Amino acid sequence: MSTVPTRLVIATRASRLALWQAEHVRDRLKALFPACDVSLLTMTTRGDQILDRSLSKVGGKGLFVKELETALLDGRADLAVHSLKDVPVDLQDPFSLAVILEREDPRDAFVSNDFDSLEQLPAGAVVGTSSLRREAQIRTLYPQLQVEPLRGNLDTRLAKLDRKEYAAIILAAAGLGRLGLSERIRAYIPVEQSLPAAGQGALGIEVLLTRSDMHEWLAPLGNADAAACTLAERAVSRVLGGSCQVPLAAYATISGSELQIRALVAEPDGSLILRAQASGPVSAARQLGEGVAKELLDNGATAILAKLGAANTPES
Ligand SMILES: NCc1[nH]cc(CCC(=O)O)c1CC(=O)O
């Protein structure tokens, strides 16, 4: 095929982060196809509306993605831009993740107005995060701290910090960076202390599987390393039930032709963290991810998952 698109519609959530991400993709598409009219279709999803309850209790990850997928099915939009972290790992026909864009900083960030790092927080200080993954890792390293739920979009979360409801909050560095808020980061938490969520820091573009034209047009936006790393990470989540009711982390890096994947499953209270890692050829990304997931299951994750009743829900 050698055609170029004349008009493309990007479905996006309405949050400031989602809009930044959609505009980023729009700009990249305009650079690729200068004559193409690229516009945004902005939608408020169920996940954006529910702020009072824990997402894991109201149905999870699909909440952020479903309305956008309906727009793809109806033909109202050609592509949907997502933080890959929020895309269910069981995404399948009729949908397809056409490309993964270059990854930004995958680390978690320590944000506070009064303290420089987690280790500086006094005993009893309240740390805000609704991510079981972040909570379990913080509790393990800093049992003297108090972890409290924190929901809402990035601006809402920062406003709650500024109202002194928390001594510090933990957010993805990538989201803050995209919104020009990196100066709020007091410390980047090393991945050894807070292993990131599968896909954190990467953007994914979803289209209908049948849209071979879209797959071809979007291909130049893809990043092979980010695709391989997140393939391995999402394979871990898939084997383990891909849930955010489970404290689950998976993070891959590439050095030369070798991919290294690290993963963990934890008891939510941080009383137990199971870790596994593997290295191998980049071409075996998926199998490496599946391998560490199976190792975790064999070493005790099965019992943790059984207790938690795994379901597909997002990291929040
Ligand atoms: N959970 C919501 C969410 N989804 C993606 C990001 C950040 C950007 C990214 O990881 O790509 C965030 C905010 C956060 O975790 O602090």
User: Per-residue pLDDT averaged across 173-200, rounded?
Assistant: 98
Least confident span in 27-31, 61-65, 232-236: 61-65
Residue 199 Cα to ligand 1 middle (Å):
9
Least confident span in 61-65, 100-104, 208-212: 61-65
User: Per-residue pLDDT averaged across 212-216, rounded?
Assistant: 97
Superfamily of 7-101+202-222 according to CATH: Periplasmic binding protein-like II (3.40.190.10)
Pocket test for ligand 1, best of 134, 189, 200 (most atoms within 8 A of CB): 200
Least confident span in 14-23, 73-82, 113-122, 306-315: 306-315
Global pTM value = 0.93
Q: Whose CA is nearest to atom 1 of ligand 1?
A: 316
The CA distance from 243 to 246, in Å, is 6
Per-residue pLDDT band at 134 (split at 50, 70, 90): very high
Q: Whose CA is nearest to atom 8 of ligand 1?
A: 175
Structure confidence at residue 316 (pLDDT): 47
Pocket residues for ligand 1 (CB within 6 Å)? 83, 85-86, 171-172, 174-175, 200-201, 315-316
10, pLDDT greater than 60: yes
Taking the CA of residue 174 as reference, the ligand 1 atom at the shortest distance is 8
User: Per-residue pLDDT averaged across 9-19, rounded?
Assistant: 95
Taking the CA of residue 314 as reference, the ligand 1 atom at the shortest distance is 1
Structure confidence at residue 314 (pLDDT): 45
Residue 86 catalytic?
A: yes
Structure confidence at residue 138 (pLDDT): 96
Least confident span in 32-46, 97-111, 222-236: 32-46
Domain spans, the chain: 7-101+202-222, 108-189, 234-308
Structure confidence at residue 306 (pLDDT): 86
Please indicate whether residue 303 or residue 31 has the higher confidence score (pLDDT): 31
Burial 289-312, CB ≥16 within 10 A → b, else e: bbbbbebbbeeebeebbeebebeb
Whether 108-189 and 7-101+202-222 are alike in CATH topology: the answer is yes
Does the domain at 234-308 match CATH 3.30.160.40? Answer given as yes
Which CATH architecture best describes the domain 108-189? 3-Layer(aba) Sandwich (3.40)
Pocket test for ligand 1, best of 15, 85, 171 (most atoms within 8 A of CB): 85
Residue 85 Cα to ligand 1 middle (Å):
7
